[in-house]
Amino acid sequence: MLRICCLLLCMLLPCNSFAESTASNPELTSAISKLPKNSLRELPKLIETIEATESPKIKTILTSLLNGDLYYIRANKQVVRVVKNTEGLYDQWHILTDEQYPAVTKSKLKKIRTNNSIRGQIKSVLALLDLSHKDPSVRLEAVKRILDNPDKESTARLKKRLAKESDEAVTQTIQVAISVAALKFGSLEEQIAAVSVLAESLEPAANNVLSRTKESLTEKTAELAEGETLSAQEKTLQTAVNKALDKIEQKRDIYSFAENLFFGISLGSVLLLAAIGLAITFGVMGVINMAHGEMMMLGAYTTYVIQQMFPELINYSLFMAIPAAFLVSGLVGILIERGVIRYLKGRPLETLLATFGISLILQQLVRTIFSPLNRQVQAPDWMSGSLEINPIFSLTYNRLYIIIFSLAVFFALMLILKKTPLGLHVRAVAQNREMARALSIKSDWVDAITFGLGSGIAGIAGVVLSQLTNVGPNLGQSYIIDSFLVVVFGGVGNLWGTLVAAMSLGSMNKFLEPLTGSVLANIIVLVGLVLFIQKRPKGLFPQKGRSAD
Amino acid sequence: MIATTGTTTPPKQGSPILAEENINPDTRHGVILYVEDVSVSFDGFKALNDLNLYINDGELRCLIGANGAGKTTLMDVITGKTRPDVGKVSFGQQVDLLSLSEAEIARAGIGRKFQKPTVFENLTVFENLELSLAGDKGIITSLFHKLSSEQKDRIAEILKTIGLTPQEKQLAGALSHGQKQWLEIGMLLAAQPRLLLVDEPVAGMTAQETERTAELLTSLAGEHSVVVVEHDMAFVRSIARKVTVLHQGSVLAEGSMSEIQSNPDVIQVYLGEEQG
Amino acid sequence: MTTSTQSIFSFLPPSLQSLATKMTSLHFVVTTLFVATLYVSFCNLVFEPGSALHVSTYTVTLLGKYLCYALLALSVDLVWGYCGILSLGHGAFFALGGYAMGMYLMRQIGDRGVYGNPELPDFMVFLNWDSLPWYWAGSDSFIWMAVMVVLIPGLLAYVFGSMAFKSRVSGVYLSIMTQAMTYALLLAFFRNEMGFGGNNGLTDFKDILGFSLQSDTTRIVLFIITAVMLAIGYAISHYIVKSKMGRVVTAIRDSESRVRFVGYKPENYKVWIFVVSGVLAGIAGALYVPQVGIINPGEFSPLNSIEMVIWVAIGGRGTLYGAIIGALVVSYAKTRFTAIMPEAWLFALGGLFVLVTLFLPKGLAGLAPQLIAKFKRSDSAKAADTADTKSEVKS
């Protein structure tokens, strides 16, 4: 929000000339000149005076005051807006003329002090100013700022605005704000009418004011003497309030379910990305790669390196990082396959140990090169923010993109395996190595490529993880057990099973979390999985047939 | 689980570590193995299709059939490795094999020799036989087990029968293919089962060894019941009294070798192919 | 085997020679342990510090730690080397044994803790608990906790083992499940609510059975007890391995389904060998804690468990003495490495995993016979070579 204000500030500045503001607004000039001498007690009044001038400068002044950027020069009591520069000095501009003065040290300046209630006042003044802004989203923001604490003054202005308002969302929110005010200050009839509007709103303010009304009615009942009852209208209000609260509560339950589901699926997509690489190397090749987590770690570090190389291209670096991470992890995977795993064919436990050794080496390598400390990977702008469905339910963009992306990777992989000659070879080797070789498929080559593919996808998963957590040498370690369990849970060799398993595990985790806390949720899911695997060692969707034994 | 109708030795249930379950088949009707209406399918492919087979006590039976006729699957069903979709398999009249585990079936007295010789490669020939000896197979017994002199004599006798006395102390993994075949037969003998299932016993044997195997199997019949699966028709001819032909998961024909050879169905689907 | 032993001992007088050839690996290990323990204790107690023969108490404790690792390695070898069950979660049994001992030691602190509460350990006072949780009941009795040291790991091994082996989970699946087991325990023990000191674990121990843990004598005694337990553990394992049960277990490792068709129930054998192994690991943990003075959830970390596996892999799985050699060699290497260049240790450990699995599948214990065989071969080859060159020179 602050950023928006500053942005607006910059946009507004050029069009305000010195002549206009001083000439047309003597009241403003005098009000400003009073600022340095003012005490906190008189400040609210002064702010009202400033507001009453209706000058376009008000916004700059009040925003600076709100942010604590408004100072006066001790020597001549001139009011200035200041910004601390890189040398530790203060750049200053005259608040009305925007004339820049030479930068000074802090001792030459004195800050114009505010307190909490004054800041509240400024906020509502600013909000009212924004009410007539031409951008509907700014207007909506403005109404929302008023929503929590509307007074009679702002309600009157809101009503005025409502007549002119064309945007639907803004209209609705204004109505809610007016109703909040009505419930607070209005007559019983107005209150009853307001409740029916508020019942439809999911704004936290609506819920708050309704519960407060409920409490005050309960108190009133308690204070009544024996034999006395609430008036009929009060009773109507009480039932209406109770009903409205129930209705809101119900909606909130639905949305909190939806929110858990969203978090669950987004965790599931991360698990899916982490697990499908493993599903290929383990499910298709039968090779358990304990260094799989480290392939993800390499992917995450690749993202970090690319951001370091092109710091000015943060917004595009992910698009470079995805193929780069795929290549880096994929190549390392092929190296591991050629260098170690192929000599351990048919000895799964030895493969497990050797790849574990490789994972230790890779971790230490990264520690030596990048230091053992976590590295921060920046998120591009388009990943931040969220898609607001309603006031209590919004989908953050980064999670949304991750869900879409991991599904895209999943289906791309399905396509590769089902529709390309490479996929055909991979499946042929997986089913019957000897036979495939007899058909002059180079099984060694297919193994290396399959392993590279699985590792490369792990690298891509690393890129995604870098957007969610810090990048460190232990990044992958925590995912290897989870991904393995996902693969086994879904049924080895069955990519669809992996998808279902990842999504259901993610959701289970997120639904348990509010009840038990995240650590316990983790433990419960883990133990549940272990029990499940013991009951059905072949997973949710086992492969049947004679060859399965 | 086990009907105790008039059996002379009622089966007793034992704890898994302390004692041995002792299950004896009731063969008063002269039949030791009942396989009735058994079907097994893998992903839509019917490996066994409504199969019926009865093996008499003391009989030597040969099972023949083309690849995929269901011979090995039948063995798997009898020994508990594969569970049929439908049907009934019982050992004697009363022992329902479908409710027993592989180990329990083996203890009840059904021994099996696999198509591919499987011996315990990291144990010596002697130890392989020792493990196979009939007797209590619980943990506590194993922990404090000492071979009695009768058992040692028995092992020596078997070693002589299978011709591996000089290799007694050798690791089984170091044996030749044919020797492994013999060792596995020896292991079967050591277990003293009532019913032996023998899957392709002479694969990889010399003509001389084949002859000896034929002799051995024939001599076993009578005291034991023997079911032999074999591709080598000459071998089958040399030992068979009664032959069962399997085709596409069910019994195509049953009878003496000469009856089978003159059966038009059989000629068409199996022998015919081989001769033509 | 016998011939090589004979040749090795050929320098001994005939009477000793015959004794030496009769010695089994059991006698050899127990004797070596006995002599080494006697020597270390003697040198620690008799010679003054500064004397060339003095063994410092620090060294004694370090050696005691190594012996605990050796016992732990033995337990891993029993299931992995002989039964083919690769457990990546043996650290869990070790840590549980350690926690049981730690609980007793915690209660021995009494009112000497920071908060001076005679009943509650410090961390419970810190969490504002007003009484001991039920599972701490009896933790002030050494006998009871000694029973727990055996019982808890044994019970976990039994429950986990029966579920896993009865449903025929094996191979890599089982390994990952054991890893998940120890990982879940790691997470659980990190929680303060578990009542085991959370992140910090149990530490600041003072006494054991009334003897100060800081005194040299206590440390020597603990060292000797560890050596004795290792010897007993070795003897038990040796007996099991050499019994018919051992042969059944080996047979299970090679071909589980075949064992089933011979009439044994492999799952029962696996469960019980797993239980024995879990108990040995628990005892190792219980001996470890008073010597190092701390137990925390870190002991549950999957990395720890996998390090145990590498001890056995390097020493030589399927030979009991190999496991012990592996534990001692790798632990010593770790101590040296982490002191000189801590960075290199993980490189070395990782490298060891790869190299051992690729080039040394039988470990150090398998290396000696291999080398001897090679040496003989190259000797004869050299002889042939020299003969060749001679003939060349002549021509």
The answer, for C347 touching chain A at a CB cutoff of 8 Å, is: yes
A-chain CB neighbours of C302 within 8 Å are 481
The whole-number pLDDT of residue C20 equals: 58
Q: Which of B72, B102, B188 to mutate to test the interface with C (most CBs of C within 10 A)?
A: B102
Least confident range from A216-220, A302-306, B147-151, C82-86: namely A216-220
In a domain, C335, yes or no: yes
Distance from CA of A404 to the nearest CA of B (A): 34
Rounded to whole angstroms, the Cα distance separating A171 from A177 reads 10
β partners of residue B62:
B228, B243
The answer as to whether C395 is a domain residue is no
Query: CA-to-CA distance for A528 and A526, rounded, in angstroms?
Result: 5
CA-closest candidate to residue B219, choices B3, B94, B60, B83: B60
Cβ C343–A364 below 8 Å, yes or no?
yes
| pLDDT (mean) for C129-153 | 92
Do the chains contact at A358 and C354, CB–CB below 8 Å?
Answer: yes
Cα dihedral B117, A547, B74, A534 sign: positive
Give the integer Cα–Cα distance in Å for B252 and A386.
Answer: 71
| Subunits in contact with chain A (3 or more CB pairs closer than 8 Å) | B, C
CB–CB contact C357 A288 (8 Å): no
This model of the complex carries an ipTM of 0.81
pLDDT value of residue C21: 59
User: Chain C residue closest to B17 (CA)?
Assistant: C268
> C244 vs B145: CB contact, 8 Å cut-off?
yes
Residue C35 inside a domain? The answer is no
Residue-averaged pLDDT of chain B: 82
Q: Give A139-164 pLDDT, tens digit per residue.
A: 787 777 777 777 777 777 778 777 77
Partners of C208 in the beta sheet?
C211
More confidently predicted of B256 and C97 = C97
pLDDT digit string (tens) for B36-68?
Answer: 999 988 877 888 888 899 998 888 999 888 777
Q: What is the pLDDT of residue C189?
A: 94
> Does the pLDDT value for residue A230 go beyond 90?
no
| Residue A375 · residue A302 · CB < 8 Å | no
Q: Note the pLDDT tens digit of each residue in A58-75.
A: 778 888 888 888 888 888
Q: Which has the higher per-residue pLDDT, A398 or C386?
A: A398
d(CA A267, CA B217): 63
CA distance B155 to chain C (A): 15
Least CB–CB distance from C176: residue in A365, A481, A531: A481
Contact by Cβ (8 Å): C156, C185: no
The separation between the first and the last C-alpha atoms of chain B, rounded to the nearest angstrom, is: 49
Let me know if residue C64 belongs to a domain.
no
Average pLDDT over chain A, rounded to an integer: 82
In this prediction the pTM is 0.78
Q: Which residues of A touch C257 (CB under 8 A)?
A: none
Report the gap between the CA of C5 and the closest CA in chain A (Å): 31
Residue C118 lies in a domain: yes
Q: How far apart are CA A477 and CA A483, in angstroms?
A: 10
Residue C11's pLDDT band (boundaries 50, 70, 90)? Answer: low
**Is residue C5 in some structural domain?**
no
pLDDT tens per residue, range A351-382: 888 998 999 999 999 999 988 888 888 888 88
Q: Do A131 and A154 meet the contact criterion of CB atoms below 8 Å apart?
A: no
- Locate all alpha helices (DSSP H) within chain B, ordered by sequence: 71-79, 102-108, 125-132, 139-143, 149-162, 177-191, 207-220, 233-239, 257-262, 264-266, 272-275
* CA nearest to A355, candidates A218, A477, A231, A474: A477
> Could you give the 3-state DSSP secondary structure of residue C36?
helix
Residue A405's pLDDT band (cuts 50, 70, 90):
very high
Q: What's the CA gap between A364 and C346, in Å, rounded? A: 6
**Cα–Cα distance between B114 and B72 in angstroms, integer?**
9
DSSP code at position A542: P
How sure is the predictor about B259, in pLDDT bands with cuts at 50, 70 and 90?
Answer: confident
Q: What is the mean pLDDT of residues B10-23?
A: 44
For residue A544, list chain B residues with Cβ-Cβ distance below 8 A.
Answer: 42-43
**pLDDT at B31 exceeding the cut of 60:** yes
Collapse the DSSP code of C81 into the 3-class scheme (helix H, G, I; strand E, B; otherwise coil) and give the result.
coil
Q: Does C358 sit within 8 Å of A519, measured CB to CB? A: no
Predicted local distance difference test score (pLDDT) of residue A10: 47
**Token representation of residue B72:** 């090995």
| pLDDT tens-digit series, residues C46-78 | 887 778 888 888 899 999 999 999 999 999 999
Convert the pLDDT of each residue in C161-174 to its tens digit: 998 898 888 888 88
Q: Judge whether C300 lies within some domain.
A: yes
Average pLDDT in the C5-23 region? 57
Which residues from A are below 8 Å from C when comparing CB atoms? 288, 340, 343-344, 348-354, 356-365, 367-368, 481, 484-485, 488, 519-520, 522-523, 526-527, 529-531, 533-535, 537
* Domain spans of chain B, in order of start: 58-76+106-275
Residue with tokens 């899957």: B199
- State how beta strands B110-113 and B195-199 pair: parallel
Residue C10 lies inside a defined structural domain of this protein = no
Higher model confidence: residue B245 or residue A58? B245
Nearest to A240 by CA among A195, A210, A207: A195
In DSSP terms, A84 is beta-bridged to: A90
Nearest in space to C85 (alpha carbons), one of C274, C232, C226: C274
Mean pLDDT of C67-92: 95
Q: Residue B197 and residue B188: Cα distance in Å, rounded? A: 9
pLDDT at C12: 60
**Structural domain boundaries of chain A?**
2-118, 133-230, 259-377+411-544
Number of Cβ within a 10 Å radius of residue A408: 10
How far is it, in rounded angstroms, from Cα A353 to Cα C352? 10
- The number of folded domains in chain C is 1
Confidence category of residue C119, pLDDT binned at 50, 70, 90: confident
Q: Does the pLDDT of residue A18 top 80, yes or no?
A: no
A to C CB pairs, distance under 8 Å: 109
**CA distances in angstroms from A458 to A340, C120, C177, C303, listed in the order given:** 19, 48, 22, 21
**The residue type at C387:** A
- The two beta strands, B225-229 and B60-64, are parallel
Over residues A281-307, the pLDDT tens digits come to 887 777 888 899 999 999 999 999 999
pLDDT at C290 over 90: yes
Q: Provide CB contacts within 8 A for B200, sequence distance 6+.
A: B115, B229, B230, B231
pLDDT at C19: 59
The C-alpha atoms of residue A511 and residue A530 are separated, in whole angstroms, by 19
Query: Residue C250 and residue B122: Cβ atoms within 8 Å?
Result: yes
A131 neighbors A161 (Cβ within 8 angstroms)? yes
Question: CB of C274 within 8 Å of any CB in chain B?
Answer: no
Is 3.40.50.300 the CATH number for B58-76+106-275?
A: yes
Distance CA C191, CA C197 (A): 8
Instruction: Quote the domain boundaries for residue C243.
Output: 73-213+234-381
The Cα of C390 is separated from the nearest Cα of chain A by a number of Å equal to 40
- The DSSP secondary-structure symbol of C295 reads E
Estimate to the nearest angstrom the gap between the alpha carbon of B178 and the chain centroid.
Answer: 18
* Residue of A197, A195, A201 lying closest to A236 (CA atoms): A195
Q: What average pLDDT score do residues B179-201 get?
A: 88
Mean pLDDT over C121-131 rounds to 89
More confident residue, C394 or C388: C388
Is A57:A17 a contact under the CB 8 Å cutoff?
no
C-alpha dihedral sign at A133, A137, A140, A146:
negative
Does residue C285 have a pLDDT over 50? yes
Please determine, for residue B18, whether its predicted confidence score (pLDDT) is greater than 50. no
> Which chains reach chain C with 3 or more Cβ–Cβ distances below 8 angstroms?
A, B
pLDDT for position C13: 62
Residue of chain B minimizing CA distance to A542: B43
